[in-house]
Amino acid sequence: MKKIIFATHNQGKLKEMKSILKGLPVEVLSATEAGIIEEIEETGTTCQENSLIKSRYVAKKTGEWAIADDTGLCIDALGGKPGVYSARWTDGAPHADFTLEKMKGIENRNSYFLSIASLVKPNGEEHVFEGKINGTITTEKRGVDRPKLPYDLIFQPEGYNETFAEMSDDQKNSLSHRGKAFQQMRQFIEAELKLLTAKN
């Protein structure tokens, strides 16, 4: 295994992924860099289904190890919305602004992020990893807007005074939902690489 294809065109996610897997002897490429320019239709009704749809597609298309994630922001006062539809909730309106408008006047601002990361090998073997973090929705946007990670501006993780967008990349990755899921994946990949080295 010399490279892993991350089933995303999202440069913000790709940057996080490369940071989390930094130091491993594998090259991390985006779907775009691997020659997949089409959007993979996410037809699942859960984050796990959507994550596996993407990683299965890329593994089959490239013949390489493929990884994907799907993340949902679940807000208690909105009945768990936007959840699995977080990336497609606003019909083009800015996600953070749209969410703050929905939350106007609401006292219960409890929420959580859930990330499901999946890894599919060329032989079809599948592995799934889960990360979750509780927090609250702020009353205003705070921090630096990361590319295509709009909810970072309004999500304040439990036990912290900063939003994700006010944290450094390393700090966010050390505690975030996606960071937790992909740290589990990193440990799995490290173990797999040791096995491959031992066999060779």
**Which residues are the active-site residues?**
70
- Enter the tokens of residue 117: 């990361």
* Cβ–Cβ under 8 Å, residues 77 and 109: yes
Residues in CB range of 44: below 8 A, 6 or more apart: 50, 52, 53, 70, 84
Whole-number Å distance between alpha carbons of 199 and 122: 18
The CA-based diameter of the chain, rounded to the nearest angstrom, is 62
Sign of CA dihedral 107, 110, 146, 166: positive
Enumerate helices (H) and strands (E) in the chain, giving the number of each.
Answer: 5, 7
Whole-number Å distance between alpha carbons of 5 and 125: 15
